[in-house]
Amino acid sequence: MSTEKTKTDQYQIRLSPAFRAQLEEQARKEGDHSLATWIKRTLRKALLANGIEPKG
């Protein structure tokens, strides 16, 4: 197994404070430690729901 780290892309998303608060609350309810983790998990679930195996 390689221990080499790979660089990942970052995306900036503009969120209103109220919307961000809603997303952060949902992330906490689902047990995620950060909004970014929740977003990634949610996007992976969306791919799986469409029959696409997430990579990476």
CA distance 25 to 5: 31
Residue 34 within a domain: yes
Residue 34, classed as helix, strand or coil, is coil
Residue 33 within a domain: yes
| Per-residue pLDDT tens digits for 8-34 | 889 999 999 999 999 999 999 999 999
Residue 54 within a domain: no
Residue 27 within a domain: yes
pLDDT confidence band for 2 (50 / 70 / 90):
low
Per the structure, the complete domain to which residue 24 belongs is given by 19-49
Residue 37 · residue 27 · CB < 8 Å: yes
pTM above 0.75, yes or no: yes
